[in-house]
Amino acid sequence: MNELTPEQNDLKQRSFWLLDALNHLDQGISVFDPNLRMVAWNERMMELLEFPTGLMVPNQHIEAFFRFNAERGEYGEGDIDTLVAERVALATNFESHVFERRRPDGTIIEIRGNPMDNGGFVTTYTDITEQRLNEARLEQRVIKRTEALHKSELWIRQIADAVPALIAYVDKDNRYQFINNMHQEWFGLNREQLLGTSIFDLVEVRNLKQFRRDIANVLQGQEVQSEYRLGRKGHSPLDVSISFIPHFDDQQQMLGYFFLGQDLTEYKQTQRELIESQKMQALGRLTGGIAHDFNNLLTIILGNLNFLEDFNADNVDFEELDEVVDCCQQAARRGSELIQRMLTFSRRQPLKPEASDLNTLVADFTSLLSRTLGETVHIEHQLDADLPPICIDRNQMETCLLNLTLNARDAMPKGGRVLIKTCRYHKPEQHPAFTDIPAGDYIMLSVRDEGEGMSAETISRAFEPFYTTKPAGVGTGLGLSMVYGFVKQSEGDIDIRSRRNEGTTIRLIFPVKQTALPQTKKKPERPEQSEQSAHILLVEDDVGVRSFARRSLQKMGYNVDLAENGDEAVEKLAAGTDYDLVLTDIIMPGTVNGLELYSRINADYPDIKVLCMTGYSEQVDDVLSDKHLLRKPFQGEQLASKLQELLKT
């Protein structure tokens, strides 16, 4: 026998090492030559495919392996020769391939074949059973988690839809990404119509300026809360509070913002009714002082009229006569101003902020308070000159003054001094007082009494509704809470400084507004007597007013017809009389009041001018322009001025 050369021994040794190494692989491997005969294999391949040892011999043709598998059912049902021939043909035209085979015992094997450069091919066999099981488990977890997330999303949506508030999420481009059902109730639009649309599409023109300011602030990362009044087609308007809450990612990049809205309509209505109740209580407390002043005025008028009855026509002192008439006129004017203040004070209306001179308001209204507070209480003013205007509701400001001064009076049962001050006030950035408002320039109003003062507990609860230290039946506890609410609505703030037996000072501050005060109307000059003979129908149910107005009109040169009520006026108009103007009272007996008469004349007789008279204007302010309204009481020059203004148009 020929001995092997050293080189051959070395090659043989290397082959043994290689085959031994293949047996240590976790993958099965087989190598076939270009003639489809087996060249090499490892034990893992035999184990995975469960081939018998007798089949695994060098130069074994691949057909033998295919036939063994076909006979044991690896390839399913069918003719064995056909199944084998198909696979041999594929092996002859060998191409790279990867596929999975599930063995009868459930094992899943990945079979990957790759051609070799010198012909033939190598195939690897990998048990991927556990991998596929893990993937199946993971897929099941994903499915379950997706179902849970879907269910959670449904729960969240159901909760959001059940909450009686508007909830939405808007991206940084101001487009809706999530909304709840409250949008449909507020705006009458469903999700499909809103998602993806701009939030600005729903903003009314009157709210646009404020809304843009709020959105600009929230996109800068600020949390914003504002109140709006929203109009709705076919429904009453909504008073709403809207919060804008910015949303950031982990890197603090702006993603969008949450939009939360709450319906305040019922709350606002309750608040208005509460204020109205407080106002009516305050009005009742004013009545005693008003009655005292009114009786004084009536005494002046009646006394001077009695004096006129005693005049001797043969010895008239015209200077004294002028003095008597002037006293009556001054008293009547004071009574008229008093009534107008009372009507303004008691008028039921929402807040109407306007540029106001605080000094003038304080000076005018405290003259109304002097009798109400009593003779033992003395009001003093310290009003800084040249204060800039503030934007407030003047009626509510007067109600505040009334409540504050009444509280001051009640704190001084033996009498004393109430000091009302106005001044400029600058709030610095860091300051212990007025912490709810930003730094800046403000106007301060303070009311100080010399009473018994408040305890620390009373100060802490003073602004709570219905909290009072007064005896039962004396106070409602609504006064300071109403003042607090009004000041906050006016973008201001309030605080209390008080010590036992040293008196109390309540300070209100309001922001300075860069706006001009409304121009004061000039007192109308007495016009010259009319040179034209216009024909006027005077409609008035009160005999005294009708007689005064008729004499005034005739003295001005007008031709006057009379009607005692609206029904009689309608008959006169229907008779075809050519009137130039109808001067009518508003509140009259019968089926036709002054406003109805005004409407009928505008519709049926458009060439006839109409001037309405009233002593109570709340019901007509939104119906009649000032041009067509003459407020009682009036004097001859006011009547003449109104008539000339109308007849010239």
The answer to whether residue 329 is domain-embedded is: no
Q: Is the pLDDT of residue 286 over 70?
A: no
Question: Which position has the token pair 């004071």?
Answer: 334
CATH of residue 360's domain is 3.30.565.10
Q: Structurally, how many domains does the chain consist of?
A: 4
Model confidence over 133-172: pLDDT tens digits? 888 888 888 777 767 766 766 666 676 676 777 888 889 8
Whether 510 and 541 share a structural domain:
no
Whether 77 and 199 share a structural domain:
no
The answer to whether residue 289 is domain-embedded is: no
Helices (H) then strands (E): counts for the chain: 18, 22
Mean of the per-residue pLDDT values of the chain: 80
The answer to whether residue 446 is domain-embedded is: yes
Model confidence over 191-215: pLDDT tens digits? 777 888 888 888 888 888 888 989 9
Whether 586 and 466 share a structural domain:
no
The answer to whether residue 231 is domain-embedded is: yes
Model confidence over 234-248: pLDDT tens digits? 677 888 888 898 999
The answer to whether residue 86 is domain-embedded is: yes
Phi, psi of 378 (to 5 degrees): -115, 125
- Per-residue model confidence (pLDDT) at position 67: 92
CATH of residue 603's domain is 3.40.50.2300
- Per-residue model confidence (pLDDT) at position 474: 44
CATH of residue 42's domain is 3.30.450.20
**Sorting pLDDT into bands at 50, 70 and 90, what band is 99?**
confident
The DSSP annotation for 536-571 comes to EEEE-S-HHHHHHHHHHHHHTT-EEEEESSHHHHHH
The answer to whether residue 285 is domain-embedded is: no
Find which of 168-172, 250-254, 528-532, 597-601 is predicted with most confidence, using mean pLDDT.
Answer: 597-601
**Sorting pLDDT into bands at 50, 70 and 90, what band is 354?**
confident
CA distance 278 to 466: 11
Whether 510 and 590 share a structural domain:
no
Whether 557 and 641 share a structural domain:
yes
- Per-residue model confidence (pLDDT) at position 275: 63
- In sequence order, what are the residues at sequence separation of 6 or more whose Cβ sits closer than 8 angstroms to the Cβ of residue 434? 427, 493, 495, 509
362 neighbors 381 (Cβ within 8 angstroms): yes
Q: Is the pLDDT of residue 25 over 90?
A: no
Whether 12 and 87 share a structural domain:
yes
Whether 513 and 539 share a structural domain:
no
Whether 119 and 182 share a structural domain:
no
**Sorting pLDDT into bands at 50, 70 and 90, what band is 233?**
low
Whether 403 and 541 share a structural domain:
no
- Per-residue model confidence (pLDDT) at position 337: 62
Nearest to 493 by CA among 431, 560, 411, 413: 431
Whether 552 and 504 share a structural domain:
no
Q: Which residue type occupies 557?
A: G
Helix/strand/coil for 520:
coil
- Per-residue model confidence (pLDDT) at position 285: 56
For residues 352-357, average pLDDT: 82
Range of the domain at 196: 163-263
Question: Which position has the token pair 């790759």?
Answer: 114
Whether 167 and 98 share a structural domain:
no
Helices 80-92 and 62-71 sit at what angle, rounded to 10 degrees?
150
The answer to whether residue 298 is domain-embedded is: no
360 neighbors 282 (Cβ within 8 angstroms): no
The answer to whether residue 235 is domain-embedded is: yes
Note the pTM of the prediction, 2 decimals: 0.41
Helix/strand/coil for 100:
strand
For residues 25-52, average pLDDT: 89
Whether 178 and 243 share a structural domain:
yes
- Per-residue model confidence (pLDDT) at position 466: 54
Q: Is the pLDDT of residue 283 over 90?
A: no
Model confidence over 478-491: pLDDT tens digits? 567 778 878 888 88
- Per-residue model confidence (pLDDT) at position 156: 65
Q: Is the pLDDT of residue 344 over 80?
A: no
**Sorting pLDDT into bands at 50, 70 and 90, what band is 15?**
low
The DSSP annotation for 111-126 comes to EEEEE-TTSSEEEEEE
**Sorting pLDDT into bands at 50, 70 and 90, what band is 75?**
confident
For residues 593-606, average pLDDT: 91
